[in-house]
Structure 1
Amino acid sequence: MTSPAEPVLDCCRSDWVASSQQSFTLYHAGARLWRQEDLVDIEQQLEHVNTAETFTLRRVDGSHIKIKNPMLGVENPIWSPFVRFREYWSLVRSRPRNLPPEIYGCSYILEWENMSIEEYRGPHPDCEAWFRSYRETWQASATCQSVKTQITHILSSEPGKTVSKVVCFGLGDLTFRSPDWWHIQNRERPEHEQETEHDCALDSSVHHAVALTLKEAVTAASRTEVKLVTQDPSYTAESKSIVGRVAPEFEFVGRHGAGGFSELSDDCVVFAPFVAAPINQIIADLARPAVIITSKVDELVVMTLKQ
């Protein structure tokens, strides 16, 4: 007489264990977490947010998964899709709590941002004047001259090296208008510590001014015309209009946060002062730019440097 089969318990979250091991194995075998063609593809898919029934994502292992589109057929949707990147450690170490197992192996996923608050607040009436003022102040500064000098030195140290474009990520929206909670908290501070909306808008204006300086310096060093492209999903239509009037050199790409990475190449300068994506990891898969300027270094890059 045979004994009944003993139950087999899955106590180790086998879906996550298998997926993380596969991602680790593939990456160390040379598989790329990101490919330019995939990022262009998802950017193009999201342009059809009102008509597409599903969106297709590519996993690291080359397989695909379809995601239902909640905005199909919706008129005047308040939700806008953007691409969120999952860096290396998210794929091999930290089991996601809010994703189904089918997405564990995706290095990029879709998220939806509610735009109703931005439309309610609207742009600040002085944002264009601020941008013009900040740009003039920056151009007259010693720091601006130092940036030009450094870029010229770097590019001249490699004879024959040409740069055709400056690619920017996360410069920030120029039409910033502070949310209600910011005004409440600001009023609760001592008077000498209170800020103005003018102060809060400084970063994005300076970032755009620096990007223009980089284009100027690279153009002078390369002695050829240089493109200036920028990607930031937070750009509003008003912000793009302001930039177009003040600095028409900018070309906007990647409205949903992915397509701009197809601009990465060996003959570009990257400027990413404030970006949510794991910029250094993405660059490592896609190109070897002449210069990379970022605000921080990814964990993966730190790990590599220590080895």
Structure 2
Amino acid sequence: MESTDIFFPQFLPYSFPYYSYIIEWKNQAFNNFVASVQPPLDAQFKEIQEVWERSSTCALLKQKLTFQKGFRKVNKVLCFALGDMVPTFRYGRYGTLYQARGAKPDIMRCSMSQHAVALTIGAAFRSTTAANVEILAHNPDYSPASKALLKSLGISVVGEHGAGGFSEIVDDSVVFFYYPNFPLSEIIADIARPAMIIRSDRTYVLDNIDRGIRCFPYPANAETPRVREMWKDYTEYDFEIMDRDRHALTGLKSFKIHIRNDITGGPCNSERKEKN
């Protein structure tokens, strides 16, 4: 066992400034500071990706996207807030508590599963279009290990130092997100009307209670009036994770597929929502 395995979680970075023998300090982001002790993620991701690709849910999603993609030429898939695959809290003062509860592996698998879905979405649109469909991922908190993995998978990281990912949202794009901790739906509503939006089926309203627990202090990605107005331009389809896959697909919940009305050929009608 390396000394860093014991040293980092227990002492750094909280006690680091108090060591008298440090003669210089380099100002850098915490993810870059701990990059040297982050292991490669390729083997872990490959295992989770294989579980996803063998699932019946993955096969069904490919079928759904294959049916829909002929309506519109898509040139990019934009992924937002899919999470860093090396959670930084493993080095923090609460790291031991989270690991004891088993949270760290769950969060890593959750993020990896979502990125595996993103690859499936991109591959589905690449299969029949002559243009190269880019997969772009926006998350300013990606660690160096996550960036290296995404690069090897053909996913480009954008918006590392700002809002670069939002500038990529156009009418001929697909947007995919699960659990953003910022008002992403409102941002999309103000920028463009992507051909397709794929998102978690969890819906929050500012004055509502979810599962008996009020979101504190407010839900980050709430269904505000202008977001609900945007959904009128889309037809909504419910996509359920199949029962036989629920245990294996860690972190993946049912989601919604929104397809713009000029592609589907009709206005959205809540009573016409389709289920897989």
**TM-score bin, normalised by smaller chain:** 0.5 to 0.7
Counterpart-to-counterpart distance in 1, 2:109 and 2:136: 21
AA aligned opposite 1:77: N
Contact 1:123 1:238 in 2 (8 A): no
Pairing of 1:181-196 with structure 2 (within 5 A): 181-184=94-97, 187=100, 194-195=101-102
| Aligned residue number for residue 198 of structure 1 | 105
Q: Which SS does the other structure have where 1:201 is aligned?
A: helix
Pairing of 1:109-188 with structure 2 (within 5 A): 115=30, 119-120=33-34, 124-125=38-39, 127-156=41-70, 158=71, 161-176=72-87, 178=90, 179-184=92-97, 187=100
| Aligned residue number for residue 27 of structure 2 | 77
| Aligned residue number for residue 120 of structure 2 | 213
170, 175, 180: which one pairs with 1:275?
Answer: 180
**2:130 is the counterpart of 1:228:** no
Runs of at least 5 residues in structure 2 that lack an aligned partner in the other structure: 1-24, 204-221, 233-276
When Rg is computed on C-alpha atoms for both structures, the one with the higher figure is 1
Contact 1:170 1:275 in 2 (8 A): yes
Q: Which SS does the other structure have where 1:144 is aligned?
A: helix
Which is further off, 286-295 or 220-229?
220-229
Runs of at least 5 residues in structure 1 that lack an aligned partner in the other structure: 1-74, 81-114, 188-193
Counterpart-to-counterpart distance in 2, 1:306 and 1:217: 24
AA aligned opposite 1:181: Y
Q: CA deviation at 1:276?
A: 2.2
Aligned length: 187
Contact 2:172 2:194 in 1 (8 A): yes
Normalised to the residue count of structure 2, the TM-score between the two structures is 0.59
| Aligned residue number for residue 37 of structure 1 | none
Contact 2:39 2:145 in 1 (8 A): no
Identity over aligned residues, as a percent?
A: 33
| Aligned residue number for residue 252 of structure 1 | 157
CA offsets, 1:264-290, max 9 Å, x none? 000011011232231111111111111
Contact 2:41 2:145 in 1 (8 A): no
Q: Give the 3 Å change call, closer, same or farther, for CA 268–76 of structure 1 in structure 2.
A: same
Counterpart-to-counterpart distance in 2, 1:240 and 1:185: 24
| Aligned residue number for residue 299 of structure 1 | 223
**2:189 is the counterpart of 1:284:** yes
Q: CA deviation at 1:257?
A: 4.0
Counterpart-to-counterpart distance in 1, 2:195 and 2:228: 22
Counterpart-to-counterpart distance in 2, 1:256 and 1:207: 23
AA aligned opposite 2:169: L
Contact 2:189 2:227 in 1 (8 A): no
